[in-house]
Structure 1
Amino acid sequence: MQLNSFDEWSPLREAIVGSATNYTSHERELSFDLFFHDNLANDNASRSEWYYPRLSPSGQGQSPASSRLPIKQRYVDELNEDLAGIAQALQSLGVTVHRPMNVDASTSRVQTPAWEASVVPPLNVRDNTLIVGDEIIETPPMIRSRYFETKFLGPVFNEYFRQGARWTVMPRPWMTDASFDLSYARNTAGGPTEPIEDPQQSPYDVGMEMMIDGAQCLRLGRDLVVNIATVNHAMGCDWLERHLEGRFRVHRVHKLSDSHIDSMVLALRPGTLLVRSEAVADKLPEPLRKWDLIVPPEPKHNNFPQYDDDDLILTSPFIDLNVLSTSPDTVLVNEACPELMRKLEQQGFTVVPVRHRHRRLFGGGFHCFTLDTVRDGGAEDYLG
């Protein structure tokens, strides 16, 4: 089928489900700490101070071993089981599922002239790609280890391109320390300390650069709502506005979170939003404040696995708000969240429970792990 995806709820026909094959570690460095700032600061209580060893400039040796935090293999194995379950659930609903290329076990590093880092598999495929109608837009990455992540989606993108899709790559940043706007982290309690006070110079410094993720965008027909927390995001949004002018309207919201919007607010159908709290709606464009709000119950601690002190928590307890709609009345929800399932059923939704155990360790829920490429909807005007 041809690429066509304008919103978050129209009947889903095709989607990409991410891969965690050969996911071995997290690498603590500036871009990682800034991206996960809110949760590193607030959800790892056993760690009193954050520090990252410097990434070595390319050609000057490897990064210090202590910067790489191994992930226990049993978590990766269980994550791969759960990804297979997500794919099976979608297929049972008539959705064609595509999978990215896997990271080969021999590929452990990503390297540019400015830096090197560990490589991350294409798991959270929502992040580095924005689908707008019949166009694939590869967005400029925000984490160094994910710099070439969209290359693993290349075979799927190639096929859509052959079928007529547009395919655009936003400018790629150098991602030196000077590229990042540090103001959000500096002005937020907690979080990484050393990289905020002592960014390192590089011969490749060009000043702040555009960096923005597709998951910062809420798609509503011909409208995009984009979360902006840094100068990097604002520059990326500038690019989107100019590139999409005449086809889509772009609406900015500010500091809903440090980056992604899809664990703060999701549109489940026209006129209905799932929001973390009513306060979130106050920051949305005025027409969206008139939509019905579903506020989920507070997450229960027994909904999550218990982890060891050396396991790095990357998402807040609200990660299960990150659901995936397959139609205006059908939603994939984590089976560990009976309270959320009951809430959605009370609002007339059909809930499809699916297992997803380690979402707090791998930074994503069902919406993050999937990229919808074909839906039935079009460029409707939902905001007036």
Structure 2
Amino acid sequence: MRLNSFDEWSPLREIIVGSATNYVSHDRELSFDLFFHENIVNDNPARSEWYYPRLSLRSGQQAEHQGRMPIKARYVEELNEDLAGIVAALESLSVTVHRPIDVDPSTAAVRTPAWSAPVVPPLNVRDNTLIVGDEIIETPPMIRARYFETQLLKPIFADYARQGARWSVMPRPFMTDASFDLSYVRATTAGGPTEPIGEVAPSPYDTGLEMMFDGAQCLRLGRDIVVNISTANHALACDWLERHLEGRFRIHRVHRLSDSHIDSMVLALRPGTLLVRSRDVAEKLPAPLRSWDMIVPPVVSADSFPQYQDDDLILTSPFIDLNVLSVDPETVLVNEACPELIRELERHKFTVVPVRHRHRRLFGGGFHCFTLDTVRAGGAEDYLG
């Protein structure tokens, strides 16, 4: 089918589901710690080292990967089992599923003139691509290890391009230490002990603050896109996006709804209905959305998550299971470990498809993060007026 995806809820026809094959470690360097800063401390209190930022890991030291933290093989095996379950659930609903190229085990690192970092698989495929109608937009990554991740989706993108899809790539950042806007973390606190933020290490490739931005910072609503902005990196990218989409889509900025992604804060389940983390989140949304029905899920139970050891790095908040995936305006994929959320959605007349997803807090994503919908039946409708 031709690429066509304007919103989060129209009947789903085709989707990409990420891959975790050969996922072996997390790499604690500046870009990683910046991206996950709010969760690494709050959810890893037993860790003894001073947390943020790891400025001792300068560019010249990254090649040795001093911050590498191995992931236990059994977690990856179970994640792959759960990904297979997501694929099976979607196929049972007559959705065509595409998969990216797996990372070859011989590919140990990605390298640019400015740095190197261990490669990670294309798991959270929502992040580095934004689908807007008939266009693929590859976004400038925020984590160095994911710099070339969209290359592993290229065969899928190329097929859509041959069928007429537009295909754009936003400007790629150098991602030196000086590229990152630190004002967000200077103005807020992650809690716990924090290393003072000093001057970053200079690089011959410094160009100042650069565009860095994920597709998961966007809530797509027909011809309207709500974009979360928390740093100057995000704002620069949003400026580009507004110019690029001018006349086709309207951009609505919200500020610091979260540190980056929006899809564990708010998701549109159908026209007129939002799933929101809290009423406080709802109050930060654009005025037309504040009149929509709001589903605020029950408080998450600690029993919903596996128990981990001190050396297991937790990367997401307990609200990760709000990261659901709509198959159509009445049908939603939800983690089977969340009976309270399932009951709340059923109370609002949704058909819930429970699917297993155990280690979402270790791998930074839920069902919405792990997927990228490429064909839905909807169009450029005006839902905000």
TM-score bucket of the superposed structures, by smaller chain: over 0.9
TM-aligned CA deviation for residue 40 of structure 1: 1.3
RMSD between aligned residues: 1.3
Aligned to 1:67: 67
TM-aligned CA deviation for residue 43 of structure 1: 1.3
Aligned to 2:10: 10
3-state SS of the aligned residue for 1:175?
Answer: coil
TM-aligned CA deviation for residue 65 of structure 1: 4.5
Alignment partner of 1:267 is 2:276: no
1:211-251 CA-to-partner distances (Å, cap 9, x unmatched) read: 11000000000000000000000001000000000000000
Tell which deviates more after alignment, 43-52 or 336-345: 43-52
Question: Which whole-Å CA distance do the structure 1 matches of 2:47 and 2:9 have between them?
Answer: 39
Aligned to 1:371: 372
Question: Which whole-Å CA distance do the structure 1 matches of 2:363 and 2:186 have between them?
Answer: 25
Aligned to 1:148: 148
Instruction: Note closer, same or farther for the CA distance 1:62–1:280 as it changes in structure 2 (3 Å cut).
Output: closer
3-state SS of the aligned residue for 2:319?
Answer: helix
Alpha carbons 2:39, 2:190 under 8 Å: kept: no
Partner AA of 1:253 in structure 2: V
TM-aligned CA deviation for residue 196 of structure 1: 2.9
Aligned to 1:320: 321
Question: Which whole-Å CA distance do the structure 1 matches of 2:36 and 2:196 have between them?
Answer: 14
Alpha carbons 1:179, 1:206 under 8 Å: kept: yes
3-state SS of the aligned residue for 1:242?
Answer: helix
3-state SS of the aligned residue for 1:168?
Answer: strand
Partner AA of 2:277 in structure 1: R
TM-aligned CA deviation for residue 187 of structure 1: 1.6
1:147-200 CA-to-partner distances (Å, cap 9, x unmatched) read: 000000000000000000000000000000110000111122136844832411
Instruction: Note closer, same or farther for the CA distance 1:133–1:65 as it changes in structure 2 (3 Å cut).
Output: closer
Aligned to 1:102: 102
TM-aligned CA deviation for residue 44 of structure 1: 1.1
Alignment partner of 1:135 is 2:131: no
3-state SS of the aligned residue for 1:226?
Answer: strand
Aligned to 2:77: 77
3-state SS of the aligned residue for 1:150?
Answer: helix
Aligned to 1:26: 26
Aligned to 1:203: 204
Alpha carbons 1:223, 1:249 under 8 Å: kept: yes
TM-score, normalised by the number of residues in structure 1: 0.97
Aligned to 1:279: 280
Partner AA of 2:21 in structure 1: T
1:34-93 CA-to-partner distances (Å, cap 9, x unmatched) read: 101111131111125215375564xx6763444100000000000000001000000000
3-state SS of the aligned residue for 1:16?
Answer: strand
Superposition map of 1:210-359 within 5 A: 210-359=211-360
Aligned to 2:187: 187
TM-score, normalised by the number of residues in structure 2: 0.97
Instruction: Note closer, same or farther for the CA distance 1:238–1:65 as it changes in structure 2 (3 Å cut).
Output: closer
Partner AA of 2:286 in structure 1: P
Tell which deviates more after alignment, 196-205 or 175-184: 196-205
Aligned to 1:42: 42
Q: For structure 1, which runs of at least 5 residues remain unmatched after alignment?
A: none
Question: Which whole-Å CA distance do the structure 2 matches of 1:300 and 1:350 have between them?
Answer: 22
1:76-122 CA-to-partner distances (Å, cap 9, x unmatched) read: 00000000100000000000000000000000100000000010100
Partner AA of 2:281 in structure 1: V
Question: Which whole-Å CA distance do the structure 2 matches of 1:61 and 1:198 have between them?
Answer: 17
3-state SS of the aligned residue for 1:130?
Answer: strand
Question: Which whole-Å CA distance do the structure 2 matches of 1:65 and 1:241 have between them?
Answer: 37
Question: Which whole-Å CA distance do the structure 1 matches of 2:141 and 2:343 have between them?
Answer: 36
Question: Which whole-Å CA distance do the structure 1 matches of 2:224 and 2:375 have between them?
Answer: 18
Alignment partner of 1:161 is 2:161: yes
Question: Which whole-Å CA distance do the structure 2 matches of 1:72 and 1:87 have between them?
Answer: 23
Partner AA of 1:68 in structure 2: R
Question: Which whole-Å CA distance do the structure 2 matches of 1:223 and 1:186 have between them?
Answer: 32
Aligned to 2:93: 93
Alpha carbons 2:57, 2:66 under 8 Å: kept: no
TM-aligned CA deviation for residue 317 of structure 1: 0.3
Superposition map of 1:119-130 within 5 A: 119-130=119-130
Question: Which whole-Å CA distance do the structure 1 matches of 2:341 and 2:61 have between them?
Answer: 48
Aligned to 2:170: 170
Number of equivalent positions:
382
Aligned structure 1 segments of 4 or more residues deviating by more than 6 angstroms: none
Partner AA of 1:290 in structure 2: S
Partner AA of 2:183 in structure 1: S
Question: Which whole-Å CA distance do the structure 1 matches of 2:197 and 2:24 have between them?
Answer: 27
Percentage identity across paired residues of the two chains? 77
Alpha carbons 2:130, 2:138 under 8 Å: kept: yes
Tell which deviates more after alignment, 134-143 or 193-202: 193-202
Q: For structure 2, which runs of at least 5 residues remain unmatched after alignment?
A: none
